[in-house]
Amino acid sequence: MSIVSKETIEVIAQSIGIANLSADVALALAPDVEYRMREVMQEAIKCMRHSKRTVLTTDDVDIALNLRNVEPIYGFTSGGPLRFKRAVGHKNLFYIDDKDLDFKDVIEAPLPKAPLDAAVVCHWLAIEGVQPAIPENAPVEVIAAPSDGKKFEQKDDGLPVDIKLPIKHVLSRELQLYFDKIIDLTVNRSDSALFKEALVSLATDSGLHPLVPYFTYFISDEVSRGLNDFNLLFALMRVVWSLLQNPHIHIEPYLHQLMPSVVTCLVAKRIGNRLADNHWELRDFTANLVASICKRFGHVYNNLQTRLTKTLLHAFLDPKRSMTQHYGAIQGLAALGPNMVRLLIVPNLEPYLRLLEPEMLLEKQKNELKRHEAWCVYGALLRATGQSIYDRLKMFPALPSPPARVFRTNGRVVTSPPNKRKANNEHLEQQPSLKKIATDGPMDVVPTNLSSNMQPPETKGPVPSTDPDMGPSSSSRQIPHGNISDSRDRKGKGDSRALKMSAVLTQTWRDDLKSGHLLVSLFELFGESILPFIPAPEMSLFL
Amino acid sequence: MEEEEIEKAVIAYLKKKGFKQTELAFQEEHHQHQNQQTKNSSSSISSSTDPDIAKHILSFSESENIPARYHEGYSKLRSWTYSSLDLYKHELLRVLYPVFIHCFMDLVAKGHIQEARNFFNSFREDHEMMHLRDLQKLEGVLSPSHLEEMEFAHSLRQSKVSIKICQYSYELLLQYLHKTQSITMLGVINEHINFQVSPGQPASISDDAEVVTLIGSSQDDANQINQKEIHWGLLEGSLEERLEKAGGLLSDSEKAEGEVKETDTEENKKRSAEGGKQGSSIKKLKKDKVVGAAGKTARPEANAVSMAPRVKPELALPVMPTEVEQSILEDLRNRVQLSSMALPSVSFYTFINTHNSLNCSSISHDGSLVAGGFSDSSLKVWDMSKLGQQAATSIMQGDNDLAPTEQILGTSGGKRSYTLFQGHSGPVYSATFSPLGDFILSSSADSTIRLWSTKLNANLVCYKGHNYPVWDVQFSPMGHYFASSSHDRTARIWSMDRIQPLRIMAGHLSDVDCVQWHINCNYIATGSSDKTVRLWDVQSGECVRIFIGHRSMVLSLAMSPDGQYMASGDEDGTIMMWDLSSGRCVMPLMGHMSCVWSLAFSCEGSLLASGSADSTVKLWDVTTSTKVPRSEENKSGNTSRLRSLKTLPTKSTPVYSLRFSRRNLLFAAGALSKSG
């Protein structure tokens, strides 16, 4: 409990040559030693305060000991605070790194330079309350966003305050013109070639930093007002992209203002007025934008990515949100990387698809537009999960010899644990398929005359041309069975060639167990359409 | 059943107390009684015993298990308090802390050290926010003897804590304690807490600042002391007053201008002193003059000062030479009027190459001299007016006797830009300039105070009186007298011509860390490590006010120029404004992140400047706070705000001292610390 334990006293006693210190003495001494130590430290801290310091030095302890009429401890005076090092493996154990010095080296070393004598220098810290920007003063935040002044006024509500004007800083005439021009281009002529030039300029010019607060303000302002104007939004996002590219701009302080606008463009319910507006494209673009921001500033703002994913996941999981919002959320998450997809989307995939499916069907969803949207979401999901699985599989050591199929199957035969897993997989594969039937089942109740046979409804409805990936799911049920039986057949043909590969494969399967399951579940959810995402050799591994 | 338990309890009690005979007798009788009872089992005598008493007796039997009872009792009380009604909760929460520390000390006193530790650690977190420092102190108490020895614990044990509580909260608490039979807790509360039950609604949370601080001397004493009358007014016949009168006479501007011309020559003389920054300072002076002239039109503002009552000096004050008086008058006339809209200019003196050895600094009234006290026992004085010219005439001086030889050495050395004063034999903790800048006082860990002359560059007197390091020394506003404060828990008043102290102020429970004179020289204020500030009457040596509210050691003090208010800064960065007449805190000023080393009021009292270890100078608007309640004088003066006007960050330079010149130019000094 206490800092100084009985054992400590015993150890100290031994170290000064008292071998037979009785336990009672140690027990009585320990609390008193601790008390004295605390007392000395209390006095030392007082001395530190009166020396107008905030770090305790050995001198303070010496003076404190002096105050208590105790001989000071010699040999520790260092002129500055001691540098403690943490002992590796212990949480609360510190030591002073005290190097051995060779006397010869010390004697032979040239005399150190005499330290500079104390001196006083004088400067103006403030002139009539304003700090002059001179090197002697701490660097002041020169640029203050225009919104800062506003905030200040709002803060002191009700109380009579002399209103503090926002800090003035001079914006050169050229910069003002430049800003006006960019704004004009963004708002009115975002499709002109000139705008592209402007974007390049924004991404490369070095002198733009003073304008950043204005751009930030402009963007957030326009986004909140112009959600109907698709072209404007796209132009604004391009401006953001360019600003982010610019290596001379220090954009971090303004991110918190930018992020809401950017996320809005990603998951807004409606973007643009007309049907013709390809808001999917804008969402895709913004998703990439968000991902790049996260990648670049994630380490500066620790909670940036967590907050973002939370927002997106929330949008994704809320069934009341519109399809467009879901699409944006999925794209955003997908852009953040395959890991995000695996962690956040995949676990929710099955219930989500169950919700999505009726939306995609002609029978259920009569509205052409809505159905189209649902298909888009489906495509996005597919792409996201597909990419995540691809990424996962890519990590495996590249396996030699293209006609790998035989090899692999052989491998499984030779090594027994994979075989077991294989069996598991088979089991899994079959079971989900059954489940699939079960989920499909209720749909068949829909009074269509073809419902009697167990063919999945997808094959019946005219599959919208927008999603060519989507294969008939009937095959999804058959193919695995076929493959499995195939591989079984080939087991017999196994030969010794595979032996050398077996080690590699064991490794692969070990890593793979998860992704194997993942793939299986994805396969069962999406059907064959997931297959194009799996690189050929790897795919064969699983089939 | 019950009866049996009671009997067991009685036996246990007798055993514990060592009443062997009685025990035997009791047991014998008990056996007989039991036999009897088996005979006529229907008749029971036990029914007559009061169940309440039974429980009381029972509780004695558990006395073997004291620690557990404390622990259980406290944790029950705690959970009850936390689940009590919101309206009364904060009042009841106040009870927890004293109960907690007294439970702990009871356990220690009874010798259950290990259990006390367990108890302390399990509930420590609750109070860490408010009372961290106290807890850290108490943590070290490990044996009953420490309780006696440690001043803080001892005073806590001796005194009762006063807690203001409303009628209903009080009833709630009593009901709870009775209902749950928590005798232990009831005992602790009865023994150590003094409830001041007030009828009506519970007090608002914001008022509890004084309640939460536990001090050695009881609240009652403090209240009694604070009843004493004090005369906080300004001195009769002060220069300010004379200026007011003169200003009244000079109704037309022509005359004023004439006066300015007349004193121009004098100003030229002063320039070298006021300056130090050559061109810029001259410009500054001119600017000052212009604003000062404009300030005259803003007379009503200045009238606020003259409204303060006048008091007669209790001390025989030194007579000021007329030419000095003239120059001060001139300064006063040219003073810049500061307000929340007109912030002062700040001139910063940075000490470089100090290698962490600068302990204190001081700036003379006109800013021309800067002194630094070092931990190598030296005191160094820089003459800022000579700084640019690389003074060849700077003289190093040791003791009086050595003066001639030292002088030669000094001139031949030539390079040194400062005057070195050597004489102390321990770190120099404080230095102060006399109002006229001709003397410096320094205090040191060698328990002496030394008087130095800046004209002769020599040590004049060594004042020995304190027994321990002297933390602070301050010249009175009129000079001649000075006050010192020390680790020996006293503050002392001295005059320059006597080597013995004139008064010794004793009463603080811990080190007296800082001292400050009241503007009318009749009082001094002292800040201490016992977290209180006291005001003492210089003439009688009595304590006339205790200001309770700080949560850590008080490091700096400042008196407002109208004499009514005082500001104190502590180790945590909190600054408190006190009303001297009522002894109450006007408002705490939060904002600094670390120790407040220095405080200064502007000359007309509208601004407060604070310098801190967090490397900032902050300017606070204190006009609203101080003037409003005085004119309205109602209790709801809480509307007054003290707000931070401006934060001036320095370049990793903790601010050691601050000083407003008579013309309201703010000087600040600090040592550049590389580690930041």
Q: Residue B78: which pLDDT band, with cuts at 50, 70 and 90?
A: confident
Cα B385 to its chain centre, rounded Å, is 35
Give residue for tokens 């109704």. Answer: B251
Distance CA B137, CA B124 (A): 13
pLDDT in tens, B617-627: 999 988 754 44
Domains held by chain B: number? 2
Give residue for tokens 């298990």. Answer: B65
Between A188 and A417, the higher pLDDT residue: A188
Is the CB of residue B139 less than 8 Å from the CB of residue B120? Answer: yes
Q: Is residue B552 part of a domain?
A: yes
Tokens linked to A49:
């305060």
- Kind of pairing, strands B458-464 and B448-453? antiparallel
pLDDT in tens, A465-522: 334 444 443 333 444 444 444 444 444 444 444 454 555 555 555 554 555 566 666 6
- Which of B143, B177, B206 is the endpoint of a domain? B206
Per cent of chain A over pLDDT 90 is 2
Provide the edge-to-edge strand list for the sheet that holds A119-126. Answer: A119-126, B346-352, B666-671, B655-660
On chain A, the residues whose CB falls within 8 A of the CB of B429 are: 50-51
Which of these, B594, B586, B536, lies nearest to B560 by C-alpha position? B586
Q: Which of A51, A122, A162 sits opposite B384 (nearest CB)?
A: A122
Give the burial class of A161: count Cβ atoms within 10 A of its Cβ; 0-12 exposed, 13-18 middle, 19 or more buried: middle
Give me the amino acid identity at B420.
L
B201 phi/psi in degrees, rounded to 5: -70, 155
State the smallest CA–CA distance between residue A154 and chain B in angstroms.
Answer: 16
Determine the pLDDT at residue B362: 94
State the smallest CA–CA distance between residue A398 and chain B in angstroms.
Answer: 52
pLDDT in tens, B475-509: 998 888 999 999 999 999 999 999 999 999 998 88
Distances (CA, A) of B640 to A157, B621, B629, B632: 15, 11, 7, 11
On chain B, the residues whose CB falls within 8 A of the CB of A52 are: 358-360, 595, 597, 613, 654, 656, 671
Between A466 and B528, the higher pLDDT residue: B528
On chain B, the residues whose CB falls within 8 A of the CB of A125 are: 346-348, 617, 648, 650, 668
Q: Is residue B660 part of a domain?
A: yes
Measure the CA dihedral A233/A236/A237/A240, to 10°: -160
State the smallest CA–CA distance between residue B292 and chain A in angstroms.
Answer: 14
Determine the pLDDT at residue A480: 42
On chain A, the residues whose CB falls within 8 A of the CB of B468 are: 67
Name the CATH superfamily for A174-395: TAF6, C-terminal HEAT repeat domain (1.25.40.770)
Q: How many CB atoms lie within 10 A of CB B173?
A: 24
Closest alpha carbon within chain A to B664: A128
- Mean pLDDT, range A195-216, rounded to an integer: 82
Per cent of chain A over pLDDT 70 is 63
Determine the pLDDT at residue B8: 74
| Domain housing B73 | 65-206
CB contact under 8 A, B348 and A125: yes
Q: Which of A51, A54, A118 sits opposite B359 (nearest CB)?
A: A51
Determine the pLDDT at residue A427: 45
Ranges for all domains in chain A classified under CATH 1.10.20.10? 6-108
H or E element that contains B134: helix B113-139
Distance CA B676, CA B657 (A): 18
Q: Which of B375, B553, B654 sits opposite A49 (nearest CB)?
A: B553
CB contact under 8 A, A124 and B280: yes
Alpha helices by DSSP H, listed for A341-472, are: 346-360, 368-394, 404-414, 416-444, 457-460
User: Which residues, 6+ apart, have CB-to-CB distance to A98 below 8 Å?
Assistant: none
Determine the pLDDT at residue B409: 38
Q: Is residue B25 part of a domain?
A: no
Determine the pLDDT at residue B233: 72
Is the CB of residue B162 less than 8 Å from the CB of residue B218? Answer: yes
User: Sign of the CA dihedral B195, B199, B202, B203?
Assistant: negative
State the smallest CA–CA distance between residue A118 and chain B in angstroms.
Answer: 5
- Kind of pairing, strands B666-671 and B346-352? parallel
On chain B, the residues whose CB falls within 8 A of the CB of A79 are: 355-356
Determine the pLDDT at residue B361: 93
pLDDT in tens, B546-558: 888 888 889 999 9
Give me the CATH number covering residue B159.
1.25.40.500
pLDDT in tens, A114-147: 878 888 888 888 888 888 877 777 765 543 333 3
Residues B200 and B345 in one domain: no
Give residue for tokens 């005598």. Answer: B45
Ranges for all domains in chain A classified under CATH 1.25.40.770? 174-395
CB contact under 8 A, B280 and A120: no
- Which of B172, B206, B240 is the endpoint of a domain? B206
- Mean pLDDT, range A384-411, rounded to an integer: 55
Distances (CA, A) of B555 to A389, A531, B549, B570, B655: 65, 74, 14, 5, 13
Q: Residue A168: which pLDDT band, with cuts at 50, 70 and 90?
A: low
Task: Provide the CB-side half-sphere exposure for B273 (13 A, CA).
Answer: 18
pLDDT in tens, A52-106: 988 888 888 988 998 888 898 887 776 666 778 888 887 778 888 777 888 888 8
Q: Is residue B266 part of a domain?
A: no
Q: Is residue B41 part of a domain?
A: no
The CATH T-level fold of domain A6-108 is: Histone, subunit A (1.10.20)
DSSP state, residue A341: I
Q: Taking the complete model, does pTM exceed 0.95, yes or no? A: no
CB contact under 8 A, A54 and B595: yes
On chain B, the residues whose CB falls within 8 A of the CB of A50 are: 359, 429, 469, 471, 513
Is the CB of residue B447 less than 8 Å from the CB of residue B473? Answer: no
Q: Residue B434: which pLDDT band, with cuts at 50, 70 and 90?
A: very high
The ipTM is 0.70
Lowest-confidence segment of A109-113, A480-484, B153-157, B650-654 by average pLDDT: A480-484
Is the CB of residue A37 less than 8 Å from the CB of residue A61? Answer: no
Between B287 and A59, the higher pLDDT residue: A59
